[in-house]
A and B are shown apart, each in its own frame.
Chain A
Amino acid sequence: MSRLSFGIPFRANAAAALKNASLIEAMRTSTSTFTEKRAEGVAKVPFEQWREEASRIRTEVLDNLPQLIDRFAAAATRAGSIVHRARDAEAAREIVGSILKDRGVRTVVKAKSMVTEEIHLNQYLESMEIRPVETDLGEYIVQIAGEKPSHILAPALHKNRRDIGKLFAEKLGIEYTDDPEVLTKVARRALREEFISADAGLSGVNLAAADTGSIAIFTNEGNGRMVTTLPPIHVAVMTMEKIIPSLADLSLFIRLLPRSATGQTLSSYFSLITGTRKAGEATGARELHIVIVDNGRSRILQGEFRDILKCIRCSACLNVCPVFRAIGGHAYGSTYPGPMGIVLTTLLDGMEKAHPILDGSTLCGACTEVCPVKVPLAGLIASLRRQKVELGFADTNERIGMAGFGMAAGSPSLFAFSQSMAHRLWSVIQRLGRNSAVERLPRPVEQTFRRRMS
């Protein structure tokens, strides 16, 4: 049985992306730069040893996740944070929304957070007349353009400087320029005002230490520091798998994350936030809310694909993926693109919606090779394809073709017969296969190797 299901129009999206010359150019240059920088960054250090250790720690986290979350929540509470748990996206939105609304917040400054994209928080806040202001330059660009991030680390990667120049001229009323430096300073000025006047700050969390209840945030721009220290209220939204067992494990992840992302030894800023401002302190929010989002992860944790929860969102797998590199992030039609995105989206959104993006891998294994926590990404994609077939989401022609393939693979005479038919009927096959890969194949030979060898 084949289920009639369309899901994300991935092939069409990809084909459209390939017609966008400026996108292709932007993607090629940027992913190459990231990949080269990463390679330089990991070349001088015992990277294999580190990722082995990090993988072990992340596996240990998954083995004990419920207890570690409880331990984290208890420690965070002791440090003065208010911990909330959200079962799904809706609950997460409502929790954040009511925290802000109850405190009369009108403007909230945001540091980059993928989970808030996952739960579609901005639209929800806007509907409550709370204005979310993205402060990461890339997110800011994407927000004023009314788009979504195309990369989990560099949200505006799909745009070139001319696109951004036009956007700023139109939306911010400045004179057109495509000088990145000038554009950056324009954003600096516009956002500085927002930081100082905002009623609350909203951030994601890169890592959370269970023993101390601390949350860690990496940024290069300094917006993460502003968001978490200037406004009186700080709301941090994290997915449950961001936990690491203890502060003692932190150093390893500080070494791995920025290196895997951009090749940097460390991002410009790394902030470790433990609770609220204490007596005698002059830094820190007066109120710190930590919202721990499940949204399907407890279910993933129980299943055969749980290794995807080891992911620390470094984006190395996106940058190195030949498919992502060619088409950019928007084509995936999901919050998370690239190899980790294919796996996570299929698990979060379900096979019915996400199955087309499972085609977005050549299984070349470059993703698996760079992953700093050894998530077997290509293997997970291959296993999810199996599940897709089992659940009946493969298309009918493919199923018939594969059934035929199975028969021929088990029968030498049928196999040889198919070869000879393919040779003889090649012109028909080519006509039928117009606009498909068939156009790119040579004609099967008459004297096959098996014939020559017998």
Chain B
Amino acid sequence: MRVQLFGTCLVDTFFPETGEAVVRLLRHFGVEAIFPKDQTCCGKPADSAGYVREARKAALHFLSVFDGQDPIVIPSGSCASMVKNHYPGLFHGDDRMRKKAEETAARTYELSQFLVHVLEAHKAGLSGKGTITYHSSCQLMRELGVREEPLTLLKSLKGAEFVPLPNADRCCGFGGVFMGKMPEVSMALANEKAESVIGTGADTLTGCDHGCLMNIADAIQRRRANVRVRHLASVLAEGL
């Protein structure tokens, strides 16, 4: 089986190891990940901030780069939701592009969705280590409806202990452009989230969105707490 991998700009620019973990993980399940080299950003930041023209530019580019029939896998809830839920609406009045956006949306998966629903990775007996807690990112949970999949995967790990995060569904304050526009509030929310994470006593925090993880990781570092913050792909790939 072959999929197209959209790395996301955050993974590309800041966390390439996560991208590599995704590739290894997919390969383990016999899936070849193609990386279309002309990919850029999905356009989410522009879309959230109200810049339709710029968001549309990004979407047009994405749709041309990710042409074809292969499933598209995205290691981010907010980017996957951008493609699946927001792209069609950007082409209001342009039936041809709207149709293309809808077709593309239909074959797009957020990583944990793909791992559970297509590859049944939770039945593969993967292993892990330590105690792991999980932050549920907002768009993943509320726009894509992905609530259980990451937990199913984490709970299936042999040798690792899953500890639930109190108020896991409360926003960490990243919010894409929000972090830039309301930095004080963003920081305050990240601090509260970091306290919750540290309070669980887990040695690893994981999640499906590097935006949130980056925001929380910074707050954890400022507290000099000994908690590793890793994307779900890295946590799963570690035990291969």
Interface residues of A (CB under 8 A from B): 11, 14-15, 18, 24, 28, 322-323, 326-327, 358-366, 368-369, 382, 384-390, 394, 398, 402-403, 405-412, 415, 419, 422, 435-437, 440-442, 444-445, 447-450, 452-454
Interface range, B side: 35 or more
Q: Which residues of A contact B99 (CB under 8 A)?
A: none
Q: Is the CB of B48 within 8 A of A363?
A: yes
Question: Smallest Cβ distance from A384 to chain B, in angstroms?
Answer: 8
Q: Which residues of A contact B171 (CB under 8 A)?
A: 322, 362, 364, 366
Q: Which residues of B contact A449 (CB under 8 A)?
A: 7, 11-12, 15-16, 19-20, 35
Q: Is the CB of A387 within 8 A of B50?
A: yes
Docked CA distance A348–B155 (Å): 49
Question: Smallest Cβ distance from B164 to chain A, in angstroms?
Answer: 16
Q: Which residues of B contact A437 (CB under 8 A)?
A: 179-180, 183, 186
Docked CA distance A444–B43 (Å): 19
Interface residues of B (CB under 8 A from A): 7, 9, 11-16, 19-20, 23, 35, 37-41, 43, 45-54, 57-58, 60-61, 138-139, 142-143, 169-171, 173-176, 178-189, 192, 214-215, 218
24 A-B pairs with C-beta separation under 8 A? A11-B182, A322-B173, A327-B185, A359-B182, A361-B178, A362-B186, A363-B139, A364-B142, A364-B171, A365-B143, A389-B49, A406-B46, A406-B53, A407-B57, A408-B41, A409-B40, A415-B9, A422-B13, A442-B214, A445-B14, A445-B16, A448-B13, A449-B12, A453-B35
Q: Is the CB of A18 within 8 A of B188?
A: yes
Q: Which residues of B contact A454 (CB under 8 A)?
A: 35, 37
Q: Which residues of A contact B192 (CB under 8 A)?
A: 28, 326
Q: Is the CB of B50 within 8 A of A415?
A: no
Q: Which residues of B contact A362 (CB under 8 A)?
A: 138, 171, 173-175, 178, 186, 189
Docked CA distance A430–B100 (Å): 40
Q: Which residues of B contact A407 (CB under 8 A)?
A: 57
Q: Is the CB of B37 within 8 A of A412?
A: yes
Q: Is the CB of A361 within 8 A of B51?
A: no
Docked CA distance A172–B123 (Å): 68
Q: Is the CB of B54 within 8 A of A405?
A: yes
Q: Is the CB of A409 within 8 A of B57?
A: yes
Docked CA distance A411–B45 (Å): 16
Given A389-B52, A444-B14, 14 more A-B residue pairs with CB atoms under 8 Å apart are A322-B189, A365-B138, A366-B170, A386-B50, A386-B52, A394-B50, A402-B49, A406-B54, A409-B40, A412-B40, A419-B12, A448-B16, A449-B20, A450-B12
Docked CA distance A322–B87 (Å): 26
Q: Which residues of B contact A18 (CB under 8 A)?
A: 184-185, 188
Residue of A nearest to B11 (CB): A449
Docked CA distance A388–B50 (Å): 7
Q: Which residues of A contact B54 (CB under 8 A)?
A: 402-403, 405-406, 409
Q: Is the CB of B13 within 8 A of A322?
A: no
Docked CA distance A363–B115 (Å): 27
Docked CA distance A410–B52 (Å): 14
Docked CA distance A364–B169 (Å): 10
Q: Which residues of B contact A448 (CB under 8 A)?
A: 12-13, 16
Docked CA distance A409–B53 (Å): 12
Q: Which residues of A contact B47 (CB under 8 A)?
A: 382
Q: Is the CB of A382 within 8 A of B50?
A: yes
Q: Is the CB of A323 within 8 A of B37?
A: no
Question: Smallest Cβ distance from B24 to chain A, in angstroms?
Answer: 12
Q: Which residues of B contact A445 (CB under 8 A)?
A: 13-16
Question: Smallest Cβ distance from B18 to chain A, in angstroms?
Answer: 8
Residue of B nearest to A451 (CB): B16
Q: Which residues of A contact B185 (CB under 8 A)?
A: 14-15, 18, 323, 326-327, 360
